[in-house]
Chains A and B, each alone.
Chain A
């Protein structure tokens, strides 16, 4: 057939319908989503929440350990909420600095977690995939330093097949290059960072606040929010904005205003 030969318009429509049908069947099991329960976030997410059968990548906003901790807790919160009846979560470790009692405070009690400590990124990716292919887990959280397009594509396919959520924490390495700079097959990519919390009328520390950036999502636009950190059930919360605040605070919380 010649490239220039005209295709009948009806044939083109039929083809498009066929492609749509294939895409829909491909998403089949993955059409379920996990909403955050916070309208401003869910509105911006394609599908109204995080796709359950997909790979999601998270990273700290900067090289600091605090942003890394925020991303970790964010992942823990999402993993804790994937199954309300308390399925097991596999947590694949690369370093030894995770402190389990903090996860228990983020909705992941110790009897819901199984840890696998891997010495190399290749092992970690293989174990994450093994966990995803098993299909009986609530979620798989993996800490990975380097993962290319092929590796993430494998994880994405495994997650789709078994309808298990994969949360990959891309940790910053000493070199300081952005872990989310390389392309990946993840459905969404997030950057989490700490921002100053609300001033309390008394001395003491308020609930932490994070800058949550949706750096990329399939079928949607990037966005960012300021949210209060997760609670014991793994839920984020809208920050309680003071009614009257200074212009400086207004500028500082400009991102939050975008939401409103």
Chain B
């Protein structure tokens, strides 16, 4: 077993790729070693190439196991020139956590060599300057196999420049034809295949109309046709939509867009039609719509699935995601949620909203919690309470005097100093009290009753119990 890759920190410790694991462990005791994942690395690189093909240039390709080729022809000026573009790409990579090097040259071979063996993180090489640029680089920059490299080392050839000065015939005899091809490729004398990745176009359905349509019925009918076409297409590909966009082209050249999202991937025409139907009245046809496109912008794989029929006695599978989509279509997505626990003792911070269908944690049930929690604690007046840890005997809240009959507490909650320095010393003592009419309240006193730094001993109402 050997080291596959080492970060700069690891290199600083004296570790390098291809070093035996046992040696590395001997050098650095307690070394954290993770198995290499070449497939995951390749998938990540392909994903990056796809991103580049969408964002930077239409032609991008994966290069070996550690690089990307971007065809800059005709796109560099869109990003402010080659240098600005290279800087931008490097910034993007460093945001992702990658330490990248980049070279721009007239040939793929020269760019490949300069990116890996050049002096700077960004090397720019004008067209025609390739020979001069790669001459000082070591021979490994030419993508040669080990046999050719070994032979060259025996002859004492160190860099590419020395090789380029030699006659071609003896070179081919000594090192094989491959070497000449690589040199020619680097200098642009031989072509090199470029295999760009093609980003998958999102599935779409299009309807062009002979007569512009205006009426709601006609639009609804077109919508049903579009959805049926798209659903069949999605079914064939084994995917389903998470986000659909409907684009209506009007006669006056304007576009009307409608978007819907689904809580779980769906290609059920009835469901999608219902969701779009709820929004369709937002379309202003103006003088008429002459073309409609339905694009599945975000898709997820959804293979055919066996569902319970309910015949055997069990309840049929609940299609909760569809209900959620319908409610979202009516009131908007941030307003449909689940409440989950946050690891915080401060009551107003202990609840977190998450998207429905997401897994959530539960609260500990050790202490009583009120049914209605006030948005922010309200001060109460005319409190009579004994220090340091007795509940109030009476208090006045919202203009009404309450006489306390029974009480539980205190439950002491400390401020979260790791969130706000102002809370460093803060303490709240919570009491559950019941007044003479049976109404139960959740009150707290700021401060522990002994140390003035923990709070000023004022009382607040924070919630009510049933």
Task: Tell me the A residues contacting B by CB distance below 8 Å.
Answer: 64-66, 68-74, 87-88, 90, 96-105, 109-111, 113-119, 123, 126-127, 130-131, 134, 136-137, 192, 194-197, 199-200, 203-206, 208-210, 229, 232
Q: In the complex, are the beta carbons of B371 and A99 less than 8 A apart?
A: yes
B319 at the A/B interface (Cβ < 8 Å)?
Answer: yes
Min CB–CB distance B255 → chain A (angstroms): 29
Q: In the complex, are the beta carbons of B336 and A115 less than 8 A apart?
A: yes
- For A130, what are the chain B residues with a Cβ–Cβ distance below 8 Å? 323, 326-327, 330
- For B408, what are the chain A residues with a Cβ–Cβ distance below 8 Å? 204-205
Q: In the complex, are the beta carbons of A102 and B406 less than 8 A apart?
A: no
- For B327, what are the chain A residues with a Cβ–Cβ distance below 8 Å? 90, 116, 127, 130-131
Min CB–CB distance B406 → chain A (angstroms): 5
Q: In the complex, are the beta carbons of A136 and B319 less than 8 A apart?
A: yes
Min CB–CB distance A227 → chain B (angstroms): 12
Which chain B residue lies CB-closest to A126?
B330
Known pairs A109-B362, A197-B434; A99 contacts B463 (CB<8 A): yes
- For B437, what are the chain A residues with a Cβ–Cβ distance below 8 Å? 194-196
Min CB–CB distance B266 → chain A (angstroms): 15
- For B359, what are the chain A residues with a Cβ–Cβ distance below 8 Å? 111
- For B463, what are the chain A residues with a Cβ–Cβ distance below 8 Å? 99
Question: Complex: how many Å from CA A136 to CA B319?
Answer: 7
- For B414, what are the chain A residues with a Cβ–Cβ distance below 8 Å? none
Identify which of B199-207, B337-345, B443-451 touches chain A: B337-345
Question: Complex: how many Å from CA A210 to CA B437?
Answer: 11
Find B465's partner among A69, A87, A98, A113 (CB 8 Å cutoff): A69
Question: Complex: how many Å from CA A102 to CA B367?
Answer: 10
Q: In the complex, are the beta carbons of A64 and B406 less than 8 A apart?
A: no
Question: Complex: how many Å from CA A109 to CA B363?
Answer: 9
- For B466, what are the chain A residues with a Cβ–Cβ distance below 8 Å? 66, 69-74, 192, 194, 208, 210, 229
Q: In the complex, are the beta carbons of B375 and A97 less than 8 A apart?
A: yes
Task: Tell me the B residues contacting A by CB distance below 8 Å.
Answer: 316, 318-320, 322-324, 326-327, 330-331, 335-341, 347, 350-351, 356, 359-363, 365, 368-375, 405-408, 432-434, 436-441, 463-466
Q: In the complex, are the beta carbons of B340 and A114 less than 8 A apart?
A: no
Q: In the complex, are the beta carbons of A204 and B365 less than 8 A apart?
A: no
- For B375, what are the chain A residues with a Cβ–Cβ distance below 8 Å? 96-97
Most buried by A among B337, B340, B407, B433: B337
Known pairs A131-B327, A194-B439, A205-B434; A115 contacts B369 (CB<8 A): no
Which chain B residue lies CB-closest to A87?
B318
Q: In the complex, are the beta carbons of A66 and B363 less than 8 A apart?
A: no
Known pairs A99-B370, A136-B320, A194-B437; A123 contacts B330 (CB<8 A): yes
Q: In the complex, are the beta carbons of A72 and B319 less than 8 A apart?
A: no
Which chain B residue lies CB-closest to A96?
B375
- For B373, what are the chain A residues with a Cβ–Cβ distance below 8 Å? 97-99
Q: List 28 A-B contacts (CB under 8 A).
A: A66-B464, A68-B372, A69-B371, A69-B466, A99-B347, A99-B371, A102-B371, A102-B465, A113-B338, A116-B336, A117-B335, A123-B331, A130-B323, A130-B327, A134-B323, A136-B319, A137-B318, A194-B437, A194-B439, A195-B438, A196-B434, A196-B437, A197-B438, A204-B408, A205-B407, A208-B434, A208-B438, A232-B365
Min CB–CB distance B325 → chain A (angstroms): 10
- For A208, what are the chain B residues with a Cβ–Cβ distance below 8 Å? 434, 438, 440, 465-466
Which chain A residue lies CB-closest to B439?
A66
Q: In the complex, are the beta carbons of B319 and A105 less than 8 A apart?
A: no
Question: Complex: how many Å from CA A127 to CA B324?
Answer: 10
Known pairs A69-B371, A110-B341, A110-B360; A100 contacts B351 (CB<8 A): yes
Known pairs A66-B465, A113-B339; A105 contacts B369 (CB<8 A): yes
Min CB–CB distance A103 → chain B (angstroms): 8
Q: In the complex, are the beta carbons of A99 and B369 less than 8 A apart?
A: yes
Which chain B residue lies CB-closest to A103?
B371
Question: Complex: how many Å from CA A194 to CA B407?
Answer: 16
Q: In the complex, are the beta carbons of A99 and B372 less than 8 A apart?
A: yes
- For A196, what are the chain B residues with a Cβ–Cβ distance below 8 Å? 405, 434, 436-438
Min CB–CB distance B376 → chain A (angstroms): 11
Q: In the complex, are the beta carbons of B323 and A101 less than 8 A apart?
A: no
Question: Complex: how many Å from CA A134 to CA B436?
Answer: 45
Q: In the complex, are the beta carbons of A65 and B372 less than 8 A apart?
A: yes
Q: In the complex, are the beta carbons of A64 and B439 less than 8 A apart?
A: yes
- For B362, what are the chain A residues with a Cβ–Cβ distance below 8 Å? 104, 109-111
Which chain A residue lies CB-closest to B441?
A66
- For A100, what are the chain B residues with a Cβ–Cβ distance below 8 Å? 339, 351, 363
Known pairs A105-B365, A204-B408; A115 contacts B338 (CB<8 A): yes
Question: Complex: how many Å from CA A130 to CA B320?
Answer: 12
- For A87, what are the chain B residues with a Cβ–Cβ distance below 8 Å? 318
- For A90, what are the chain B residues with a Cβ–Cβ distance below 8 Å? 323, 327
Q: In the complex, are the beta carbons of B372 and A97 less than 8 A apart?
A: yes
Known pairs A110-B339, A205-B408; A72 contacts B371 (CB<8 A): yes
- For A96, what are the chain B residues with a Cβ–Cβ distance below 8 Å? 375
Question: Complex: how many Å from CA A156 to CA B363?
Answer: 34
Min CB–CB distance B337 → chain A (angstroms): 5
- For A110, what are the chain B residues with a Cβ–Cβ distance below 8 Å? 338-341, 360-363
The 4 closest A-B pairs by CB, nearest first: A136-B318, A100-B339, A70-B466, A99-B373
- For A115, what are the chain B residues with a Cβ–Cβ distance below 8 Å? 336-339
Find A194's partner among B331, B361, B440 (CB 8 Å cutoff): B440
Min CB–CB distance B448 → chain A (angstroms): 20
Question: Complex: how many Å from CA A117 to CA B353?
Answer: 12
Question: Complex: how many Å from CA A93 to CA B434?
Answer: 27
Min CB–CB distance A166 → chain B (angstroms): 15
Q: In the complex, are the beta carbons of A114 and B324 less than 8 A apart?
A: yes
Most buried by B among A98, A101, A110: A101
Which chain A residue lies CB-closest to B334?
A117
Question: Complex: how many Å from CA A199 to CA B434?
Answer: 11
Find B363's partner among A101, A116, A131, A137 (CB 8 Å cutoff): A101
Min CB–CB distance A202 → chain B (angstroms): 10
Question: Complex: how many Å from CA A212 to CA B437?
Answer: 15
- For B406, what are the chain A residues with a Cβ–Cβ distance below 8 Å? 197, 199-200, 203-206
Q: In the complex, are the beta carbons of B351 and A101 less than 8 A apart?
A: yes
Known pairs A115-B339, A126-B330, A130-B330; A104 contacts B365 (CB<8 A): yes
Question: Complex: how many Å from CA A66 to CA B330?
Answer: 32
Q: In the complex, are the beta carbons of A69 and B339 less than 8 A apart?
A: no
- For B350, what are the chain A residues with a Cβ–Cβ distance below 8 Å? 101
Min CB–CB distance A252 → chain B (angstroms): 11
Question: Complex: how many Å from CA A100 to CA B348?
Answer: 11
Find A118's partner among B324, B335, B407, B439 (CB 8 Å cutoff): B335
